């Protein structure tokens, strides 16, 4: 069974640009969540999608957005990049939510210069 | 805002030592408590998901307990091995959080041969 796949693995962008990250969940998983990890910070929740609907959003500015497609694949977009957006972005998929384990991808390392 | 606390922040032990970590969380609005192991350059990997007060789970040399009434969980590692070196994360799923997990800052375990 294939795991959670995130692309790209590494990305370098310039301030002011926008970026799109992709996440393909495990087959059959309908919930996809996104997390950000910056140095010194724990994993911070960005948003969660289930069956193409955003059900929960973390405390991030509107520059961070996402979507989920009918095949459960998800994308997140960050517009007008800032230096502070440099981070590891992880996505996780699960069958149900909350009470079942989340399976994480290897992440996308975004560097904003 | 849910606040999940983990202690200690880091721990150095010798091979063969047994060790334990603590995860504290607000007991109200509890739905599930997750433990993950995150090795360097890998994805976080689920160890346990616990939902019931008094839950005890075991996987090999690793076990966990849960007390939802007082808001804490313990993770135990018996006979630590160098391959147990990793960051151990606990995460709380609240009752209305759907797929959102609120993570603690983690405990970094280093096992010296």
Residue A1: band (very low, low, confident or very high) from pLDDT cuts 50, 70, 90: low
| Distance separating alpha carbons of residues A109 and A88, to the nearest angstrom | 4
Tokens of B8: 């200690």
Question: How do residues B82-99 score in pLDDT, each as one tens digit?
Answer: 999 999 999 998 767 677
The residue of B25, B99, B102 whose CB has the most chain A CBs within 10 angstroms, and thus the best one to mutate to test that interface, is: B99
How many Cβ contacts (< 8 angstroms) between chains A and B?
A: 77
Cα-based distances in Å from A9 to A3, A12, A20, A113? 15, 11, 12, 17
| Residue A76 half-sphere exposure toward CB, CA atoms < 13 A | 30
Question: How do residues A65-81 score in pLDDT, each as one tens digit?
Answer: 999 999 999 999 999 99
Question: How do residues A26-64 score in pLDDT, each as one tens digit?
Answer: 999 999 999 999 987 889 999 999 999 999 899 999 999
CB A32 within 8 A of CB A47: no
Nearest residue of A to residue B93, measured between CA atoms: A98
Per-10-residue mean pLDDT, chain B, length 113: 88 96 89 94 95 92 96 97 97 80 95 96
């Amino acid at each position: 069974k294939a795991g959670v796949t995130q692309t790209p693995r590494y990305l370098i962008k310039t301030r002011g640009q926008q970026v799109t990250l992709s996440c393909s969940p495990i087959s059959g998983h309908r919930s996809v969540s996104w997390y950000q990890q910056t140095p010194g910070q724990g994993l911070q929740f960005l948003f969660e999608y289930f069956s193409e609907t955003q059900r929960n959003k973390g405390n991030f500015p509107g520059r961070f957005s996402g979507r989920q497609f009918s095949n459960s694949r998800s994308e997140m977009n960050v517009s007008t990049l800032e230096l502070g957006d440099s981070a590891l972005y992880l996505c996780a998929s699960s069958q149900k939510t909350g009470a079942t384990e989340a399976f994480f991808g290897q992440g996308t390392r975004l560097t904003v210069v | 805002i849910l606040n999940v606390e983990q202690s200690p922040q880091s721990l150095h032990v010798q091979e063969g030592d047994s060790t334990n970590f603590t995860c504290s969380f607000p007991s109200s609005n509890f739905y599930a408590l997750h433990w993950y192991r995150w090795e360097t350059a890998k994805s976080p990997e689920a160890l346990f998901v616990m939902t019931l007060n008094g839950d005890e789970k075991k996987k090999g040399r690793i076990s966990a307990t849960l007390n939802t009434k007082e808001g804490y969980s313990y993770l135990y590692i018996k006979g630590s091995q160098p391959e147990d070196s990793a960051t151990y994360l606990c995460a709380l799923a609240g009752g209305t959080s759907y797929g959102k997990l609120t993570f603690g800052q983690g405990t970094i375990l280093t096992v010296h041969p």
